[in-house]
Chains A and B, each alone.
Chain A
């Protein structure tokens, strides 16, 4: 079609060409090159020298985890290290707790890092998850204005503190977004004998933790928050930690493997793809002494205190005591 030679065609031909160049960089076999490119950039300069362990047969490892671990940035530190040590290529998929567990149960993930002990145990009892190991915990805290109108500083535990807030009708801001934090909050209300908190004193933002903290600060209200987000925003907030360290405020993380034998019963194809060796390596890595030390240090440089407390080898019931 030699007779089309107008600028527009030239322009679009160039566009197509540019796309095509991109295409060669990512479709089909391109996926592989993107993978190597990604793994090098993901694990830093050290990896480029090829100082890794010999590559395992099945390199790919899918880790289902909760958004909290990704948002904190902890995985960005740990995963490159694991990849460098073992040669596996980890795909961390940060989703809701429910989905993270479901992915493990169906065999869509190889290994899980989650913080929902009761649901985890259900999975273990079913036989869907194996090799469950305690890794670490972080905690929720109750924050509020320094004046502390409900006087929760002196409360025995978080349940008492919530009771006091409800009694005094002191302003409380909830995320109300059905997140893990929100669930935790409702759980405590339940324990405090309040099935469904409502009234002028109880307000929902329907937003994330950061925005909810802003609102609480603005209105001089109480709220339940994870420590990480609070520390990150502390300077801009007029809120103080009023209650912490209570076992019911802990967020306990376990790592566990998908059980290929369990998946095989329902879906042999998926079971064949599970990387059990890699999963075991990842569990071992997470409870390794060196890793535990890194977890304990994580966040100190930025916030002056750690975001997670390493717990490998401890008894779960001893936490927070």
Chain B
């Protein structure tokens, strides 16, 4: 049973439809996340689900009960929202939290007690007498979270709460949030454009593009086996190649990528999706960090005899085109008849330079197949 559920939700901006979702539901105690690029309609969906915005079509159900306009405030008081901008009221930190509780009719003494508890939980108790507008971004967002949890919601909505924070702050806060979510077990609707956050925190993820859902799955599956090319790009898959099926076997296909042969084994999660037959056009997506590379000197020209490479691997020869170091990661672009982008940790095999001959290899179950029709 869903605790909160949207059916046939549609939202228009002018004539343009910016959101069209047939069904979206939150299971009790689970973290549900929505990802998508900016402007994909995910924040709109959150506002509709949090009853802050009227959809142009469809309706929201709370515990199987259809929510009528007059119920909105009552239901809102059973949820709480943390937004991207921690726009706190122009008052002290403690007042901010207490005001939220007082609006919902909690008496002053217990409101203060709860405020104290949650400020401590998010390590900002020492700021309770400070003016909320004087806080740093990270501090304000901690207070926002404290306020949201102090309201003891049945459903917690998080609208990109960490988007405006710097990386270390974001990481620290994400860890704490994860911990609190785990302890409280509150049902959560988490919107983000950062697929890494989602992988970390969510039980289930909905990917939204142009207001339409493209895939709903476990976060890991969305990262590993995105359903569309755009989603693949969005979740950071560097290599997306058009290919043609040469031979289709059960749980395995052989395909041609601009002259290079590639073997793709069916990963468990998308087994049912390998139903291609010979001659089909497909797209193959492959993460750069799943590719290994070796210097191609004269002694091991025969790929089969390269030590350390187990069978069941694809092996391509090529030439290094460019090498870029991004902090702890080195990104290599190699030309193997087709452009291959490789990410390797800095420090271990970073002796490559442009023009070097190279052998790239990847496991047969590393790539994923995208149905090229989409």
**CB-CB contacts of B259-279 with A at 8 A, as 1s and 0s?**
000000000000000000000
Q: Report the contact-size class of chain A (Cβ under 8 Å from the partner).
A: under 10
**CB-CB contacts of A1-33 with B at 8 A, as 1s and 0s?**
011001000000000000000000000000000
Q: Does B102 contact A (CB under 8 A)?
A: yes
CA distance A6 to B129 in the complex (A): 13
Query: Within 8 Å CB of A3, what residues of B?
Result: 98-99, 102-103, 108
CA distance A147 to B99 in the complex (A): 84
**CB-CB contacts of A242-257 with B at 8 A, as 1s and 0s?**
0000000000000000
CA distance A6 to B103 in the complex (A): 16
CA distance A2 to B103 in the complex (A): 10
A6's nearest neighbour on chain B, judged by CB, is B91
Given A2-B108, A3-B99, A3-B103, output 5 extra A-B contacts at Cβ < 8 Å. A2-B102, A3-B98, A3-B102, A3-B108, A6-B91
Residues of A within 8 A of B (CB): 2-3, 6
Min CB distance B208 to A, Å, is 38
A1's nearest neighbour on chain B, judged by CB, is B102
B92's nearest neighbour on chain A, judged by CB, is A6
Query: Within 8 Å CB of A6, what residues of B?
Result: 91
Q: Which of B92-137 contact A (CB under 8 A)?
A: 98-99, 102-103, 108
CA distance A198 to B99 in the complex (A): 75
Query: Within 8 Å CB of B103, what residues of A?
Result: 3
CA distance A2 to B91 in the complex (A): 15
Min CB distance B243 to A, Å, is 64
Min CB distance A311 to B, Å, is 71
**CB-CB contacts of B79-101 with A at 8 A, as 1s and 0s?**
00000000000010000001100
Min CB distance B13 to A, Å, is 35
Min CB distance B96 to A, Å, is 11
Min CB distance A8 to B, Å, is 11
Query: Within 8 Å CB of B91, what residues of A?
Result: 6
CA distance A131 to B168 in the complex (A): 96
Q: Which of B333-352 contact A (CB under 8 A)?
A: none
Enumerate 5 A-B pairs (CB-CB under 8 Å) in ascending A order: A2-B102, A3-B99, A3-B102, A3-B108, A6-B91
Query: Within 8 Å CB of B102, what residues of A?
Result: 2-3
Min CB distance A256 to B, Å, is 64
Min CB distance B366 to A, Å, is 58
Query: Within 8 Å CB of A2, what residues of B?
Result: 102, 108
